[in-house]
Amino acid sequence: MTAPGAVARLEASVRGRVQGVGFRYFITIRATRMGLTGFVANEQDGSLRVVAEGPRSDLEDLLEALREGPASSIVERVNEDWLPYTGHWASFGIESRGHRGD
């Protein structure tokens, strides 16, 4: 069990129909409302990458949003890694990662 208020880092890869469906905006809005920091990006292999930091309970809520996705998406799989909080980001945003559509 995680202590209340404990902070962490979530790194997730989302696979399925997750590009070109508004997924990055969907996650950015959710993460920003929760006060999380980090980024979301399309990857060249067609997946979506999310790195987020903040309270573990909020990150777990974000993970559920990743599994759900926006209405136009089809989420086939979400791989997650939990790491120590770094404090690297000041806000949450969309990053361009070398995908042609970015």
Catalytic residues, which ones? 24, 42
Instruction: Let me know if 4 is exposed, middle or buried by CB neighbors in 10 A (0-12, 13-18, 19+).
Output: exposed
DSSP letter, residue 47: -
Q: Rounded distance, CA 30 to CA 71, Å? A: 14
Q: Rounded distance, CA 80 to CA 75, Å? A: 14
